[in-house]
Structure 1
Amino acid sequence: MSSQVRGGTRWKRFALVMVPSVVATAAVGVGLAQGALAASFSVSGQSFKVSTDKLVGEDFVQYGSVAVGTDIEGEKQQAHPVAVSGFSKATITNMCQSVVTPDLPFGLGSVSLQLKAGTDPKKPVEATNLYLDVAQLDADAYFENIDIGVAAGSVGKPGIQAGTEKAVKAGGFSQRAKTATLSNVEQTAWATTAGTFKLSNLSLRLHKGVKECF
Protein backbone atom coordinates (compact mmCIF):
# COMPACT_ATOMS: atom_id res chain seq x y z
CA MET A 1 0.00 0.00 0.00
CA SER A 2 2.76 2.45 0.87
CA SER A 3 4.36 1.85 -2.52
CA GLN A 4 1.08 2.67 -4.26
CA VAL A 5 0.73 5.92 -2.34
CA ARG A 6 4.23 7.04 -3.26
CA GLY A 7 3.57 6.20 -6.90
CA GLY A 8 0.41 8.30 -6.86
CA THR A 9 2.28 11.27 -5.46
CA ARG A 10 4.92 11.00 -8.15
CA TRP A 11 2.33 10.84 -10.90
CA LYS A 12 0.66 13.92 -9.44
CA ARG A 13 3.80 16.03 -9.63
CA PHE A 14 4.59 14.60 -13.07
CA ALA A 15 1.17 15.77 -14.23
CA LEU A 16 1.95 19.25 -12.90
CA VAL A 17 5.09 19.36 -15.01
CA MET A 18 3.05 18.41 -18.07
CA VAL A 19 0.50 21.24 -17.67
CA PRO A 20 0.43 23.24 -20.96
CA SER A 21 2.86 25.86 -19.71
CA VAL A 22 2.54 28.19 -22.68
CA VAL A 23 -1.20 28.66 -22.17
CA ALA A 24 -0.68 29.17 -18.43
CA THR A 25 2.08 31.68 -19.02
CA ALA A 26 -0.07 33.64 -21.46
CA ALA A 27 -3.01 33.80 -19.06
CA VAL A 28 -0.89 34.90 -16.12
CA GLY A 29 1.00 37.35 -18.32
CA VAL A 30 -2.20 39.10 -19.38
CA GLY A 31 -3.27 39.36 -15.73
CA LEU A 32 0.05 40.82 -14.65
CA ALA A 33 0.12 43.28 -17.51
CA GLN A 34 -3.35 44.50 -16.56
CA GLY A 35 -2.49 44.65 -12.85
CA ALA A 36 -5.08 41.97 -12.04
CA LEU A 37 -2.63 39.58 -10.36
CA ALA A 38 0.11 39.98 -7.79
CA ALA A 39 3.27 38.25 -8.96
CA SER A 40 3.66 36.09 -5.87
CA PHE A 41 3.10 32.35 -5.59
CA SER A 42 4.38 29.25 -3.84
CA VAL A 43 7.28 27.89 -5.88
CA SER A 44 7.47 24.20 -6.72
CA GLY A 45 9.93 21.87 -5.07
CA GLN A 46 11.99 21.68 -8.25
CA SER A 47 14.42 24.21 -9.60
CA PHE A 48 14.95 24.40 -13.36
CA LYS A 49 17.78 25.26 -15.71
CA VAL A 50 17.83 27.93 -18.40
CA SER A 51 20.50 28.63 -20.99
CA THR A 52 20.59 31.37 -23.64
CA ASP A 53 23.05 32.63 -26.21
CA LYS A 54 22.21 36.24 -25.33
CA LEU A 55 19.82 38.22 -23.14
CA VAL A 56 19.56 41.98 -23.73
CA GLY A 57 17.52 43.83 -21.13
CA GLU A 58 16.48 47.40 -20.38
CA ASP A 59 16.20 48.90 -16.86
CA PHE A 60 18.10 46.10 -15.13
CA VAL A 61 17.64 45.72 -11.36
CA GLN A 62 18.96 43.02 -9.01
CA TYR A 63 18.30 42.45 -5.33
CA GLY A 64 18.07 39.66 -2.77
CA SER A 65 14.80 37.95 -1.89
CA VAL A 66 13.33 34.64 -0.73
CA ALA A 67 11.28 32.18 -2.82
CA VAL A 68 9.00 30.11 -0.58
CA GLY A 69 7.37 26.81 -1.52
CA THR A 70 7.20 23.14 -0.63
CA ASP A 71 9.53 20.22 -1.20
CA ILE A 72 9.10 17.90 -4.16
CA GLU A 73 6.76 15.60 -2.21
CA GLY A 74 4.57 18.57 -1.23
CA GLU A 75 4.94 17.90 2.49
CA LYS A 76 7.44 20.38 3.95
CA GLN A 77 7.71 24.12 3.45
CA GLN A 78 11.01 25.34 2.07
CA ALA A 79 12.54 28.78 1.64
CA HIS A 80 15.16 29.45 -1.03
CA PRO A 81 17.38 32.55 -1.01
CA VAL A 82 17.44 34.01 -4.52
CA ALA A 83 18.98 36.86 -6.45
CA VAL A 84 16.12 38.49 -8.34
CA SER A 85 17.01 40.00 -11.71
CA GLY A 86 14.38 42.31 -13.18
CA PHE A 87 14.04 43.97 -16.61
CA SER A 88 11.37 46.30 -17.96
CA LYS A 89 12.00 44.81 -21.44
CA ALA A 90 14.20 41.95 -22.64
CA THR A 91 15.00 39.95 -25.76
CA ILE A 92 16.40 36.44 -25.43
CA THR A 93 18.16 34.55 -28.22
CA ASN A 94 18.21 30.73 -28.36
CA MET A 95 16.53 30.05 -25.02
CA CYS A 96 16.46 26.55 -23.54
CA GLN A 97 14.57 25.64 -20.35
CA SER A 98 14.64 22.21 -18.73
CA VAL A 99 13.25 20.49 -15.64
CA VAL A 100 13.78 16.87 -14.59
CA THR A 101 11.16 14.83 -12.71
CA PRO A 102 12.98 11.90 -11.04
CA ASP A 103 11.92 8.46 -9.83
CA LEU A 104 8.69 7.95 -11.76
CA PRO A 105 6.93 4.57 -11.37
CA PHE A 106 6.34 1.78 -13.93
CA GLY A 107 10.01 1.71 -14.86
CA LEU A 108 10.04 5.19 -16.34
CA GLY A 109 12.71 6.50 -13.99
CA SER A 110 13.53 10.15 -14.70
CA VAL A 111 11.70 12.18 -17.34
CA SER A 112 12.93 15.55 -18.62
CA LEU A 113 10.82 18.36 -20.03
CA GLN A 114 12.78 20.62 -22.37
CA LEU A 115 11.48 23.82 -23.93
CA LYS A 116 13.29 25.78 -26.64
CA ALA A 117 12.39 29.11 -28.27
CA GLY A 118 13.97 32.06 -30.04
CA THR A 119 16.33 29.83 -32.02
CA ASP A 120 16.31 32.27 -34.94
CA PRO A 121 18.45 35.33 -34.01
CA LYS A 122 16.10 37.47 -36.09
CA LYS A 123 13.09 36.33 -34.00
CA PRO A 124 14.21 36.25 -30.34
CA VAL A 125 11.99 35.66 -27.33
CA GLU A 126 10.47 38.96 -26.16
CA ALA A 127 9.43 39.75 -22.59
CA THR A 128 8.20 42.74 -20.58
CA ASN A 129 8.35 43.20 -16.80
CA LEU A 130 10.56 40.11 -16.59
CA TYR A 131 11.73 38.81 -13.17
CA LEU A 132 14.09 35.86 -12.67
CA ASP A 133 14.51 34.23 -9.23
CA VAL A 134 18.02 32.88 -9.66
CA ALA A 135 20.03 30.53 -7.45
CA GLN A 136 23.05 30.27 -9.76
CA LEU A 137 24.20 32.23 -12.81
CA ASP A 138 27.21 31.97 -15.12
CA ALA A 139 27.52 34.41 -18.03
CA ASP A 140 29.56 37.11 -19.72
CA ALA A 141 27.99 40.41 -18.65
CA TYR A 142 28.10 43.98 -19.99
CA PHE A 143 26.29 46.86 -18.23
CA GLU A 144 25.64 50.48 -19.18
CA ASN A 145 25.28 53.17 -16.48
CA ILE A 146 25.46 50.75 -13.56
CA ASP A 147 24.93 51.70 -9.90
CA ILE A 148 26.14 49.15 -7.33
CA GLY A 149 25.08 49.34 -3.70
CA VAL A 150 21.65 50.94 -4.12
CA ALA A 151 19.10 50.39 -1.34
CA ALA A 152 16.59 47.85 -2.62
CA GLY A 153 13.68 50.11 -1.72
CA SER A 154 15.07 52.80 -4.03
CA VAL A 155 16.13 50.60 -6.92
CA GLY A 156 13.83 52.33 -9.43
CA LYS A 157 12.16 51.03 -12.61
CA PRO A 158 10.88 48.31 -12.93
CA GLY A 159 10.96 48.17 -9.11
CA ILE A 160 10.53 45.33 -6.63
CA GLN A 161 8.37 42.55 -8.03
CA ALA A 162 4.73 43.13 -7.06
CA GLY A 163 3.53 40.88 -4.25
CA THR A 164 7.02 40.03 -2.96
CA GLU A 165 7.81 43.23 -1.03
CA LYS A 166 7.67 41.46 2.37
CA ALA A 167 10.51 39.14 1.31
CA VAL A 168 12.81 42.06 0.42
CA LYS A 169 14.64 44.30 2.89
CA ALA A 170 14.05 47.91 1.83
CA GLY A 171 17.58 48.89 2.88
CA GLY A 172 19.17 45.75 1.50
CA PHE A 173 21.89 45.67 -1.14
CA SER A 174 20.87 45.99 -4.77
CA GLN A 175 22.19 47.21 -8.09
CA ARG A 176 20.74 48.71 -11.25
CA ALA A 177 21.79 49.61 -14.79
CA LYS A 178 20.27 51.28 -17.83
CA THR A 179 20.94 48.17 -19.93
CA ALA A 180 22.39 44.72 -19.34
CA THR A 181 23.71 42.28 -21.94
CA LEU A 182 24.32 38.72 -20.78
CA SER A 183 25.99 36.26 -23.16
CA ASN A 184 26.53 32.48 -22.89
CA VAL A 185 24.08 32.31 -20.00
CA GLU A 186 23.65 29.23 -17.80
CA GLN A 187 21.39 29.65 -14.79
CA THR A 188 19.48 27.64 -12.23
CA ALA A 189 16.25 29.31 -11.11
CA TRP A 190 13.24 28.74 -8.88
CA ALA A 191 10.78 30.98 -10.72
CA THR A 192 10.28 33.30 -13.69
CA THR A 193 7.46 35.80 -14.11
CA ALA A 194 6.71 38.27 -16.90
CA GLY A 195 3.98 40.71 -17.83
CA THR A 196 4.17 39.40 -21.39
CA PHE A 197 6.26 36.55 -22.78
CA LYS A 198 6.41 36.00 -26.55
CA LEU A 199 8.00 32.66 -27.51
CA SER A 200 8.92 32.42 -31.19
CA ASN A 201 9.68 29.01 -32.75
CA LEU A 202 8.49 27.25 -29.61
CA SER A 203 9.45 23.59 -29.20
CA LEU A 204 8.42 21.51 -26.15
CA ARG A 205 9.57 17.91 -25.78
CA LEU A 206 9.58 15.17 -23.15
CA HIS A 207 12.64 12.95 -22.93
CA LYS A 208 13.13 9.75 -20.97
CA GLY A 209 16.15 10.10 -18.69
CA VAL A 210 18.06 13.25 -17.77
CA LYS A 211 18.32 15.73 -20.64
CA GLU A 212 19.06 19.23 -19.38
CA CYS A 213 20.01 22.45 -21.14
CA PHE A 214 23.48 22.29 -19.58
Structure 2
Amino acid sequence: MESLARGGTRWKRFAVVMVPSVAATAAIGVALSQGALAASFSVSGQQFKVTADRLDGKGFVQYGAVDSTKAGNKPVAVVGFNEAKIKNLCQSVVVPVPAFGDVTMKLSAGTDAARPVEAKKLYIDADDIGANATFNNIDIGVSADSTSKGPGPNKGDKYAPGSFAQQADSATFTDVKQRAWATTAGTFKLSGLKMGVKKGKNECY
Protein backbone atom coordinates (compact mmCIF):
# COMPACT_ATOMS: atom_id res chain seq x y z
CA MET A 1 0.00 0.00 0.00
CA GLU A 2 1.37 3.39 -0.87
CA SER A 3 0.41 6.80 0.46
CA LEU A 4 1.66 10.23 -0.52
CA ALA A 5 1.79 13.55 1.31
CA ARG A 6 3.56 16.23 -0.70
CA GLY A 7 5.18 19.29 0.83
CA GLY A 8 3.52 20.95 3.82
CA THR A 9 3.66 19.93 7.41
CA ARG A 10 0.02 19.87 8.48
CA TRP A 11 -1.93 16.75 9.37
CA LYS A 12 -4.61 17.57 6.80
CA ARG A 13 -1.94 17.24 4.12
CA PHE A 14 -0.77 13.86 5.38
CA ALA A 15 -1.82 10.75 3.50
CA VAL A 16 -5.29 9.28 3.94
CA VAL A 17 -3.82 6.07 5.30
CA MET A 18 -2.41 8.05 8.24
CA VAL A 19 -5.64 9.88 9.11
CA PRO A 20 -6.93 7.17 11.49
CA SER A 21 -3.79 7.66 13.58
CA VAL A 22 -4.62 11.33 13.91
CA ALA A 23 -8.08 10.39 15.17
CA ALA A 24 -6.47 8.01 17.62
CA THR A 25 -4.21 10.81 18.85
CA ALA A 26 -7.22 13.07 19.39
CA ALA A 27 -8.99 10.28 21.29
CA ILE A 28 -5.97 9.95 23.55
CA GLY A 29 -6.21 13.68 24.32
CA VAL A 30 -9.90 13.34 25.21
CA ALA A 31 -9.22 10.37 27.47
CA LEU A 32 -6.51 12.35 29.23
CA SER A 33 -8.76 15.38 29.80
CA GLN A 34 -11.44 13.12 31.28
CA GLY A 35 -8.98 11.60 33.71
CA ALA A 36 -9.06 8.18 32.07
CA LEU A 37 -5.37 8.26 31.22
CA ALA A 38 -2.31 9.59 33.04
CA ALA A 39 0.61 11.08 31.15
CA SER A 40 3.99 9.79 32.33
CA PHE A 41 6.50 10.48 29.54
CA SER A 42 8.04 13.80 30.60
CA VAL A 43 9.72 15.87 27.88
CA SER A 44 11.44 19.25 27.92
CA GLY A 45 8.52 21.13 26.39
CA GLN A 46 10.79 22.35 23.60
CA GLN A 47 9.75 21.16 20.15
CA PHE A 48 12.35 20.41 17.52
CA LYS A 49 12.26 19.96 13.76
CA VAL A 50 13.62 17.02 11.80
CA THR A 51 14.13 16.49 8.08
CA ALA A 52 15.51 13.56 6.11
CA ASP A 53 15.86 12.73 2.44
CA ARG A 54 14.94 9.10 3.06
CA LEU A 55 14.13 6.71 5.90
CA ASP A 56 14.03 2.95 5.32
CA GLY A 57 12.61 1.08 8.28
CA LYS A 58 11.93 -2.54 9.17
CA GLY A 59 9.18 -3.43 11.62
CA PHE A 60 6.92 -0.35 11.60
CA VAL A 61 4.30 0.60 14.20
CA GLN A 62 2.29 3.77 14.85
CA TYR A 63 -0.11 4.66 17.67
CA GLY A 64 -1.39 7.61 19.66
CA ALA A 65 0.08 8.56 23.03
CA VAL A 66 0.63 11.49 25.39
CA ASP A 67 3.83 13.32 26.33
CA SER A 68 3.91 15.42 29.50
CA THR A 69 5.54 18.88 29.53
CA LYS A 70 5.59 21.79 31.97
CA ALA A 71 3.20 23.58 29.63
CA GLY A 72 0.73 20.71 29.75
CA ASN A 73 0.07 17.32 28.21
CA LYS A 74 0.65 16.93 24.47
CA PRO A 75 -1.10 14.28 22.35
CA VAL A 76 1.34 12.82 19.83
CA ALA A 77 1.54 10.17 17.15
CA VAL A 78 4.36 7.77 17.95
CA VAL A 79 6.18 6.12 15.05
CA GLY A 80 8.38 3.16 15.91
CA PHE A 81 10.81 0.96 13.97
CA ASN A 82 12.76 -2.16 14.87
CA GLU A 83 15.53 -0.92 12.57
CA ALA A 84 15.91 2.22 10.49
CA LYS A 85 18.43 3.74 8.08
CA ILE A 86 18.21 7.49 7.50
CA LYS A 87 19.85 9.52 4.75
CA ASN A 88 20.72 13.20 5.17
CA LEU A 89 19.29 13.71 8.64
CA CYS A 90 18.86 17.24 10.03
CA GLN A 91 17.61 18.09 13.50
CA SER A 92 17.21 21.62 14.84
CA VAL A 93 15.85 23.32 17.94
CA VAL A 94 15.45 27.04 18.63
CA VAL A 95 16.15 28.04 22.22
CA PRO A 96 15.12 31.52 23.45
CA VAL A 97 17.91 32.98 25.59
CA PRO A 98 16.96 35.88 27.91
CA ALA A 99 18.64 39.20 27.00
CA PHE A 100 20.27 37.57 23.97
CA GLY A 101 17.52 36.31 21.70
CA ASP A 102 16.93 33.07 19.87
CA VAL A 103 19.75 30.55 19.46
CA THR A 104 19.49 27.62 17.03
CA MET A 105 21.23 24.32 17.64
CA LYS A 106 21.42 22.21 14.49
CA LEU A 107 22.67 18.66 14.04
CA SER A 108 23.29 16.87 10.74
CA ALA A 109 24.41 13.32 9.94
CA GLY A 110 24.18 10.67 7.24
CA THR A 111 24.94 13.13 4.44
CA ASP A 112 27.08 10.49 2.70
CA ALA A 113 24.61 8.15 0.94
CA ALA A 114 26.95 5.23 1.59
CA ARG A 115 26.95 5.89 5.35
CA PRO A 116 23.39 6.57 6.52
CA VAL A 117 22.32 7.10 10.11
CA GLU A 118 21.43 3.74 11.67
CA ALA A 119 19.01 3.20 14.57
CA LYS A 120 17.48 0.28 16.41
CA LYS A 121 14.28 0.37 18.48
CA LEU A 122 13.65 3.89 17.23
CA TYR A 123 10.62 5.88 18.47
CA ILE A 124 9.60 9.36 17.35
CA ASP A 125 6.89 11.34 19.17
CA ALA A 126 5.55 13.91 16.70
CA ASP A 127 2.50 16.13 16.26
CA ASP A 128 3.16 17.34 12.73
CA ILE A 129 4.49 15.21 9.86
CA GLY A 130 4.87 15.52 6.11
CA ALA A 131 6.36 12.84 3.85
CA ASN A 132 5.89 10.47 0.94
CA ALA A 133 5.31 7.01 2.39
CA THR A 134 5.27 3.43 1.15
CA PHE A 135 4.23 0.53 3.41
CA ASN A 136 4.74 -3.19 2.85
CA ASN A 137 2.12 -5.61 4.25
CA ILE A 138 0.38 -2.96 6.33
CA ASP A 139 -2.31 -3.68 8.93
CA ILE A 140 -4.53 -0.68 9.77
CA GLY A 141 -6.73 -0.67 12.85
CA VAL A 142 -4.93 -3.22 15.03
CA SER A 143 -4.87 -2.87 18.81
CA ALA A 144 -1.87 -0.88 20.04
CA ASP A 145 -1.05 -3.47 22.68
CA SER A 146 -1.31 -6.37 20.22
CA THR A 147 1.07 -5.19 17.49
CA SER A 148 3.65 -7.76 16.41
CA LYS A 149 5.48 -6.44 13.35
CA GLY A 150 7.18 -3.47 15.01
CA PRO A 151 8.87 -2.88 18.36
CA GLY A 152 5.53 -2.43 20.15
CA PRO A 153 4.61 0.58 22.31
CA ASN A 154 7.50 2.35 23.98
CA LYS A 155 7.71 1.59 27.70
CA GLY A 156 7.75 5.33 28.46
CA ASP A 157 4.50 6.04 26.61
CA LYS A 158 0.95 6.20 27.92
CA TYR A 159 -1.78 5.07 25.56
CA ALA A 160 -5.31 3.75 25.91
CA PRO A 161 -5.33 -0.09 26.04
CA GLY A 162 -6.86 -1.52 22.89
CA SER A 163 -6.60 1.82 21.08
CA PHE A 164 -6.03 2.20 17.34
CA ALA A 165 -2.65 1.40 15.82
CA GLN A 166 -1.18 0.36 12.51
CA GLN A 167 1.80 -1.78 11.64
CA ALA A 168 3.77 -2.96 8.62
CA ASP A 169 6.63 -5.30 7.81
CA SER A 170 8.56 -2.32 6.47
CA ALA A 171 8.09 1.31 5.49
CA THR A 172 9.94 3.87 3.41
CA PHE A 173 9.56 7.62 3.90
CA THR A 174 11.05 10.25 1.58
CA ASP A 175 11.18 14.06 1.81
CA VAL A 176 10.46 13.86 5.51
CA LYS A 177 9.56 16.96 7.53
CA GLN A 178 8.34 16.66 11.08
CA ARG A 179 7.89 18.57 14.32
CA ALA A 180 8.65 16.34 17.27
CA TRP A 181 8.65 16.38 21.04
CA ALA A 182 10.91 13.40 21.69
CA THR A 183 13.02 10.72 20.02
CA THR A 184 14.33 7.60 21.72
CA ALA A 185 16.37 4.67 20.40
CA GLY A 186 18.11 1.58 21.71
CA THR A 187 21.13 2.47 19.56
CA PHE A 188 21.63 5.52 17.34
CA LYS A 189 24.66 5.57 15.05
CA LEU A 190 25.29 9.02 13.57
CA SER A 191 27.77 8.82 10.71
CA GLY A 192 29.44 12.10 9.77
CA LEU A 193 27.93 13.93 12.73
CA LYS A 194 28.12 17.73 12.65
CA MET A 195 26.63 20.16 15.15
CA GLY A 196 26.50 23.94 15.06
CA VAL A 197 25.08 26.77 17.16
CA LYS A 198 23.99 30.08 15.63
CA LYS A 199 22.23 33.19 16.85
CA GLY A 200 18.75 33.60 15.40
CA LYS A 201 16.46 31.07 13.74
CA ASN A 202 18.29 28.67 11.43
CA GLU A 203 16.06 25.62 11.43
CA CYS A 204 16.09 22.55 9.18
CA TYR A 205 12.93 23.86 7.46
Task: State the SS of the aligned residue for 2:44.
Answer: coil
Q: State the shift of 1:69 in Å.
A: 1.8
What is the 5 A alignment of 1:1-214?
41-71=41-71, 78-102=72-96, 104-106=97-99, 108-156=100-148, 157-164=150-157, 167-214=158-205
Is the helix fraction higher in 1 or 2? 1
Preserved contact between residue 41 and residue 66 of structure 2 (Cα < 8 Å): no
Measured in 2, the distance between the counterparts of 1:105 and 1:99 equals 16
TM-score scaled to structure 2, two decimals?
A: 0.78
Structure 2 residue runs of 5 or longer lacking an equivalent are: 1-39
| Aligned residue type for 2:44 | S
Give per-residue Cα distances to partners, 1:4-59, cap 9 Å, x unaligned. Answer: xxxxxxxxxxxxxxxxxxxxxxxxxxxxxxxxxxxx74101111000000000000
Give per-residue Cα distances to partners, 1:117-175, cap 9 Å, x unaligned. Answer: 000010000000000001110000001000001111111231111132xx111211100
Task: State the SS of the aligned residue for 2:145.
Answer: helix
Preserved contact between residue 92 and residue 204 of structure 2 (Cα < 8 Å): yes
Measured in 1, the distance between the counterparts of 2:98 and 2:82 equals 42
Q: Percent identity?
A: 53
TM superposition outliers: structure 1 runs of 4+ over 2 Å: none
Q: Which has the larger radius of gyration?
A: 1
Q: State the shift of 1:116 in Å.
A: 0.3
Measured in 2, the distance between the counterparts of 1:69 and 1:94 equals 29
Measured in 1, the distance between the counterparts of 2:85 and 2:187 equals 12
Preserved contact between residue 77 and residue 127 of structure 2 (Cα < 8 Å): yes
Indicate the RMSD between aligned Cα atoms, in angstroms.
1.1
